[in-house]
Structure 1
Amino acid sequence: MNFKEVEKLIDIFSKNSISSIFLKEGDFEIHLEKNAPASQVQIPQVQNVAPAMPSVSVVAEAPSTTPALSTQEGEFIKSPMVGTFYRCPSPNASPYVNVGDKIKKGQIIGIVEAMKIMNEIEAEFDCKVVEIVANDAQPVEFGSNLIKVEKI
């Protein structure tokens, strides 16, 4: 997929009321998300986007109603970059933090993988974990809420 096709896809995505789209073509992957009411979810006609595009998989999903996304007010530890958030140091390890844990300034709360580099995310102050907002292996944007905390 070339840059012009990606730009056109993003433009169409932003003008429609679908909340999420994931495309994978060989090594190329793109995942776009936004908030939209479930009643307005639509699947765009991808074959009309760019006739010269090779076939790709398109997935449209309704917004998640899980408790992890329930509140957006309060203190959060946010992602400092775009990437994939991981709660554990490795697939078989236990998470860095869980709800109810008291964490110290500088303690690692998770990892954001960006361009095959694992970036440890640290707490910026002493706090207690109130809610885990980002799921394990979830794509995150700059400023995305990772965990909700209460300063102590």
Structure 2
Amino acid sequence: MTNQEIYELMARFDQSGLTTLKVTRKDFSLELGKTVTVAAAAVAPVAAPVAAPAAAPVAEVVEEGTCITAPLVGTFYAAPAPGADPYVKPGQKVSQGDVLCLVEAMKTMNEIKAPCDCVVEEVLAQDGDLVSFGQNLIRYREG
């Protein structure tokens, strides 16, 4: 199985409702797992609160789009070399297969590529950050 096939499988798994996945081929085995968090229901207060002065409404942050996640634990790099321009910037249109960033693991640079034609909404990791498996790196929307 190639790295690209593994990355695509991981991306599909991340977007699916599955919590575990095991793939075995001849001398290769891959096991994926994720935890699902369930939001707790709000508990109604027992006593009625005293009326407080009206506060300004808080703007709700709505994150639209889908995220590209780290396929492995490693160091995130937004650019191909120190001091170079980053691979992508927010608002940039990219084509399927374009390199978006790098994740270095065990002295190997792993290219993270666009899964489809899309627009980069936000780069969520900082250059040089240690990223975990499944951590959101780049938020995008198809288009």
Mapped pair 1:149 → 2:140: yes
| Change beyond 3 A, Cα 1:72–1:126 | same
* Alpha-carbon spacing, 1:123–1:129, altered in 2? closer, same or farther (3 Å): same
1:94-133 correspondence runs (5 A): 94-133=85-124
Residues paired across the two proteins, number = 83
TM-score normalized by structure 2?
0.55
Q: Please give the secondary structure, in 2, of the residue aligned with 1:137.
A: coil
Q: For residue 92 of structure 1, what is the aligned residue in structure 2?
A: 83
TM-score, structure 1 as length reference: 0.52
How far apart are 1:72 and its partner, in Å?
Answer: 6.2
Q: Deviations over 1:45-94 (max 9, x none)?
A: xxxxxxxxxxxxxxxxxxxxxxxxx7766301111111000000000210
Q: Does the CA contact (< 8 Å) of 2:67 and 2:138 recur in 1?
A: yes
**Greater per-residue helix proportion:** 1
Look at both structures and tell me which one has the larger radius of gyration over its CA atoms. 2
Task: Please list, as runs of the form range in 1=range in 2, the aligned pairs for 1:1-152 lying within 5 A after superposition.
Answer: 74-152=65-143
Task: Give the match for residue 19 of structure 2.
Answer: none
Q: Where in structure 1 do 4 or more consecutive aligned residues deviate above 2 Å?
A: 70-74
Unpaired runs of 5+ residues, structure 1, are 1-69
Root-mean-square deviation (Å):
1.5
- Identify unmatched segments of 5+ residues in structure 2: 1-60
